[in-house]
Structure 1
Amino acid sequence: MTVVSVDKDVEALSLTVVAEFDADVKRVWRIWEDPRQLERWWGPPTVPATFETHDFTPGGKASYYMTTPDGTKARGWWQFTAVNAPDHLEFDYGFADDQGARMDHQGAAHATVKLEPIGARTRMTMSTTFESEEQLQKVSEMGMEEGLRQGIGQIDALLAEPANA
């Protein structure tokens, strides 16, 4: 199993996912850096993501939508706050409206991704902090924890392919 642990800490307003992969840090970095690879795992298999923009630089923005089985598109945005190849990434993120504009009234979250070598493998720790307990509860009710498990569960197959696939 790729996902080693999922820890929700209500006091710290955080959700942390730890996963391990049979690939080196630089290869795992590519699944964040390349939007076509990111699309293949960001979200559960039944709700794939499509990245419309992906400016993978500090201050850069990404916009995407996830398509549910009934065809509904749920939109989101990212703003990269740190991009330190090949092992550290941070971004703010949240929901977007039908035109892709930020829906600030729903709040934003902050994600920190750290990649570290463990022998020939890589440990990825993705920690998300939320603005409020209500926001954390809402995304939990929406299935964020299970969605992350399922999404990250798709990474092993992606990593088994050539890096430029």
Structure 2
Amino acid sequence: MPVTDVTTDPEALTMTLTAEFVASPQRLWEAFTDPRQLERFWGPPGYPATFTEFELAPGGRARYHMTSPRGEQYHGVWEFLVIDGPRSFTVLDSFSDAEGRVLSEMPTSRMVFEFEETASGARLTNTTSFDSAEALEQIVAMGAVEGSTMALDQLDRVLEGLRAYAGGKGTQTEILDDTHVRITRLIDGPIDLVWRAHHEPELMKKWLLGPDGWRLAVCEVDSTVGGRYQHVWEPVGDTEGERFGFDGETLFIDAPRRVVTTEHMTGTDFPSTLNDLNLYEEDGATLITLLIEYPDSQTRDMVLATGMTDGMEASYARMESVLAAV
């Protein structure tokens, strides 16, 4: 976990975050000042950032929005005050409307990003200063500490590159908190093919099978917002088990990068999960990131105990073979 400390100081009116990385200060600088790299980690899981403007110069502005799993957008603006690359930069950070107008009713803070060399790489120190104790309390109450920590914990994959970060590691499952689990798997193939593999029934029936001995008997997909899907699996031959399935609704779609759906076990009164699928391609490989939101920790633990990760790895390994032949 890169973030080593987050401290709030009500007297100094500051929140200070410290993180350590196995990378040079120059590499950190590049990640924070290239909007295409920055948007890969600036938003916390489930709220990826999109930068629509980025003028890295004193007096310049950066505009961005974070998109929730249900498609709501939350906008922000940076005004660059001081640029001292590759050591530091300072911005005024404000909430805004969709046109980039600062919301006066929300706090504006001053953020300093500092990058310094360490024996093992580089340290980021991010100090945010507020105008009042009330503003500091408001931002903390909105989840700034947790959100900033989870956002920066995504930076390693950007600094290392996808193949170094995830190549050969198979399907990885991380418990983020009581209700969120993040699953990652690198697929050796382009993003367009991986997207098709998640949405075209003829491809899905070739790989979305779980362990050997099962087949996807029903695969109905409506990849439009409000559209519904249904998947039903059944055992083949001598495989033991009972037919089961899942159904759900598409809540948000941004092809070929992101789709958010609900998932409910058909024929049960189990609560639905929220499945947020993100794809990112680099150097001919695509990182699948699936963020699952469970209703509670008990449901999360029950599902993980079924061997879900092993089943998904079997399916993803099969996907790579299928896509290689497309």
User: TM-score range, shorter-chain basis?
Assistant: over 0.9
- 1:133 is displaced (CA, Å) by 1.1
Match of 2:159 in 1: 159
Tell me the equivalent position of 1:48: 48
State the Cα deviation string for residues 85-110 of structure 1 (Å, max 9, x = none).
10111000110013221112323100
Per the alignment, residue 246 of structure 2 pairs with none
The match for 2:75 is 75
Shift of the alpha carbon at 1:120? Answer: 4.4
2:85 aligned with 1:62: no
**Residue matched to 1:136:** 136
Q: Give the letter aligned to residue 68 of structure 1.
A: S
Instruction: Give the aligned length.
Output: 163
Amino acid at match of 2:157: A
Partner of 1:112: 112
SS in 2 for 1:56: coil
What is the rounded CA distance, in whole Å, between the counterparts of 2:136 and 2:49 in structure 1? 21
State the 1:5 CA deviation: 0.3
Q: For residues 100-133 of structure 1, what are the alpha-carbon distances to aligned partners after superposition, in whole Å with 9 as ceiling and x for unaligned?
A: 2111232310001111000240000000001111
Q: Find the aligned partners of 2:14 and 2:75 in 1 and give their Cα distance.
A: 22
Q: How high is the TM-score relative to the length of structure 1?
A: 0.95
Q: Name the aligned partner's letter for residue 30 of structure 1.
A: E
In structure 1, distance between residues paired with 2:70 and 2:132? 31
CA RMSD of aligned residues (A): 1.2
Higher relative contact order at CA 8 Å, sep ≥6: structure 1 or structure 2?
1
Q: Which residue of 2 aligns with 1:24?
A: 24
Q: Which amino acid aligns with 1:116?
A: E
Distance 2:24 2:99 in 1: 38
CA distance in 2, matches of 1:120, 1:85: 21
TM-score (norm: length of structure 2): 0.49
What letter matches 1:129 in structure 2? S
Aligned residue number for residue 147 of structure 1 = 147
How big is each residue's C-alpha offset from its partner over 1:41-73, in whole Å with a ceiling of 9 and x where there is no partner?
112021000001010111110111011111110
Cα separation, 2, equivalents of 1:107 and 1:83: 23
Aligned equivalent of 2:5: 5
CA displacement at 1:23 relative to structure 2 = 0.4
Q: Following the alignment from structure 1 to structure 2, what is the Cα–Cα distance between the partners of residues 91 and 98?
A: 20
Q: Which runs of 4+ in 1 moved over 4 A?
A: none
How far the C-alpha of 1:158 sits from its partner, in A, is 0.7
In structure 2, the partner of 1:15 is 15
Letter aligned with residue 50 of structure 1: T
Name the aligned partner's letter for residue 146 of structure 1. E
Cα deviations across residues 17-53 of structure 1 (Å, max 9, x unaligned)?
A: 0000000111010111100000011120210000010
Aligned AA (2:156): D
Unaligned runs of 5+ in 2: 163-281, 283-326
For 2:90 and 2:28, the matched residues in 1 are separated by 15
Report the equivalent of 2:236: none
Report the counterpart of residue 92 of structure 1 in structure 2: 92
* Higher mean C-alpha displacement, 56-65 vs 97-106: 97-106
Q: What's the offset of the Cα at 1:138?
A: 1.1
Which secondary structure does the structure 2 equivalent of 1:105 belong to? coil
